[in-house]
């Protein structure tokens, strides 16, 4: 209900806007549209999956893929580079995947960095182990490029709002 002499505005009039306002209009802009390249860390030991992820994420020009071989190198890279999303394989040669996810969750901004687990075992028990350790998403092979792009893209959008 409008009262006489009172008008509801959907946006401030042009003369009230601050020209140097760095915030974009939220109705026309989404954080995932940022042209800034965001780092996705992929922790693995298998060259085949590494190539699949590299091919898939190359289609997203705003993603910079950083690959770490093994859990210890992955933890070090995650702490140093502060990736926006971490993708980790459940089986690594030097560390158990659940231990890695738990350690990563404690070292990074705990609730902010999405962690995607890629594991051969899709049973509810195995998924629950990773979720309890702090994983955000769980992918079961065989994976294709579209599935990887959708999963990582969704988590990039979620992380962009945080």
Q: What count of other Cβ atoms lies within 10 Å of the Cβ of residue 56?
A: 21
71 burial class (0-12, 13-18, 19+ CB within 10 angstroms)?
buried
Decide which of 5 and 120 is more confident.
120
Mean pLDDT of the 19-32 span: 49
87, 152 in Cβ contact below 8 A?
A: yes
Chain-wide mean pLDDT for the chain? Answer: 77
Tens digits of residue pLDDT in 76-130: 999 898 888 999 998 888 889 999 999 998 887 656 788 999 988 889 999 999 9
Across 54-150, where does the E strand assignment appear?
63-69, 85-89, 115-118, 137-139
- Whether omega before 142 lies within 30 degrees of 0, making that bond cis, reads yes
Higher-pLDDT residue of 34, 54: 54
Which CATH class name applies to 37-160?
alpha beta
Residue 61 tokens, joined: 């020009």
Nearest one of 54, 72, 77 to 64, comparing CA atoms? 54
> Do 143 and 151 contact (CB within 8 A), yes or no?
no
Q: How confident is the model at residue 33 (pLDDT cuts 50, 70, 90)?
A: low
Q: What does the alpha-carbon distance between residue 87 and residue 114 come to, in Å, rounded to a whole number?
A: 8
In the chain, % of residues over pLDDT 70: 71
The reported pLDDT for the residue numbered 29 is 46
Token reading at 51: 């190539």
């Amino acid at each position: 209900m409008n009262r006489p002499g009172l008008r509801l505005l959907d946006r401030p009039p042009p003369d009230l806007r601050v020209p140097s306002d760095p915030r974009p209009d939220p109705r026309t802009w989404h954080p995932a549209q940022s042209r800034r390249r965001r780092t996705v860390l992929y922790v693995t030991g298998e060259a085949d999956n590494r190539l699949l992820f590299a091919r898939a994420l190359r289609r997203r020009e705003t993603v910079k893929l950083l690959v770490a071989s093994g859990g210890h190198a992955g933890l070090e890279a995650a702490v140093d580079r502060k990736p926006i999303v971490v993708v980790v394989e459940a089986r690594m040669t030097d560390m158990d995947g659940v231990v890695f996810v738990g350690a990563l969750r404690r070292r990074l901004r705990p609730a902010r960095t999405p962690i995607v687990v890629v594991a051969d075992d899709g049973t509810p028990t195995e998924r629950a182990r990773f979720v309890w350790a702090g994983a955000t998403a769980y992918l079961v092979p065989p994976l294709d490029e579209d599935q990887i792009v959708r999963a990582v893209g969704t988590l990039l959008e979620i992380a962009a709002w945080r």
